[in-house]
């Protein structure tokens, strides 16, 4: 399958980084895309990458149930259905903070965004996909290498990404009767503003600070598009896409 003309996607965290790259890739392939994020101006910048593309910008805080409800209502009102949710919005939280010094408010913010937000969006997508005709759709959760192996001083981010794997598995199982396919992409060192520090130096498990290789975020976007354009009878349950030489297999 090459293009998904008239297919409808919701992309969270679409104002920058991986979310922007995936949204642009889908728009260029003929998808209609609802762009969700905290800042309306960055969503409009994403839409401007594909002049004439079928984009809808909806300012959304995924940790707020009322914002998520409004996002999916606006998407269905504009486009009629939802075929794909790329559950991407997330935050690292404060970096380099030992677990004993991490403020509870910082922990809660990461959990609210990365886990609760992912659940709320998946729940809204699930409800819509179950009710619409034809029934079904696909949810792709943005996991992380940290869903497998942590970095030092990343307890909140790592805990949420491990939890996201459980969310993916449970949603995948529960979606079977309704033609809802759910998978996860685990990404390592895609070159974005959030990972800029990797190239100058990142704390390693042995206590050293060392630069790490990164990869083009467009390679992630193409992988998400491949997963998205499979027929619903096929599913990539888990995919890992990473900079080839990054210290993942040898982390720790």
pLDDT given for residue 119 in this prediction: 98
Among this protein's residues, is 157 annotated catalytic?
yes
- pLDDT per position as a tens digit, 72-114: 999 999 999 999 999 999 998 887 789 999 999 999 999 999 9
- pTM for this predicted structure: 0.91
- CA nearest 9: which of 129, 169, 92? 129
In a domain, 249, yes or no: no
* Between 38 and 195, the higher pLDDT residue: 38
Average pLDDT over residues 226-230: 98
Average pLDDT over residues 42-58: 97
- pLDDT per position as a tens digit, 197-213: 766 777 777 778 877 77
Structural domain boundaries enclosing 38: 8-242
In a domain, 248, yes or no: no
Give me the CATH number covering residue 191.
3.40.50.720
Helix (H) or strand (E) holding 126: helix 117-131
CB neighbours of residue 90 within 10 Å:
26
pLDDT given for residue 96 in this prediction: 78
For the cut 60, the answer to whether the pLDDT of residue 2 exceeds it is no
In a domain, 1, yes or no: no
For the cut 70, the answer to whether the pLDDT of residue 32 exceeds it is yes
In a domain, 247, yes or no: no
For the cut 60, the answer to whether the pLDDT of residue 225 exceeds it is yes
pLDDT band at 214 (very low <50, low <70, confident <90, very high): confident
- Alpha helix (H) residue ranges in the chain: 17-28, 40-48, 65-79, 104-110, 117-131, 155-175, 196-200, 217-228
Residue found under tokens 């193409």: 222
Per the structure, how many domains does the chain have? 1
Choosing from 104, 126, 157, 178, which is the catalytic residue?
A: 157
Under 8 Å between Cβ of 19 and 86: yes
In a domain, 251, yes or no: no
């Amino acid at each position: 399958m090459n293009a998904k003309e008239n297919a409808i996607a919701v992309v969270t965290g679409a104002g920058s980084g991986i979310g922007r790259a995936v949204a642009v890739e889908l728009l260029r392939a003929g998808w209609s895309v609802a762009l969700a994020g905290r800042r309306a101006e960055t969503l409009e910048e994403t839409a401007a990458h594909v002049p004439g593309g079928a984009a809808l910008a909806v300012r959304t805080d995924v940790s707020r149930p009322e914002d998520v409800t409004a996002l999916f209502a606006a998407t269905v009102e504009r486009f009629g259905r939802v075929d794909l949710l790329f559950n991407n919005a997330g935050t690292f939280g404060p970096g380099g903070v030992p677990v004993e010094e991490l403020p509870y408010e910082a922990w809660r913010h990461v959990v609210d965004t990365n886990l609760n937000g992912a659940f709320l969006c998946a729940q809204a997508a699930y409800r819509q996909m179950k009710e619409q005709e034809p029934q079904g759709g696909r949810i792709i959760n943005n996991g992380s290498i940290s869903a497998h192996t942590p970095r030092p001083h990343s307890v909140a981010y790592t805990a949420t990404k491990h939890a996201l794997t459980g969310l993916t598995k449970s949603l995948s199982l529960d979606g079977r009767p309704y033609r809802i396919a759910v998978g996860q992409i685990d990404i390592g060192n895609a070159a974005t503003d959030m990972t800029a520090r990797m190239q100058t130096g990142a704390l390693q498990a042995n206590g050293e600070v060392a630069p790490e290789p990164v990869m083009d975020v467009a390679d992630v976007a193409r992988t998400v598009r491949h997963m998205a354009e499979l027929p619903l009878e096929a599913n990539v349950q888990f995919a890992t896409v990473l900079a080839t030489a990054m210290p993942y297999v040898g982390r720790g």
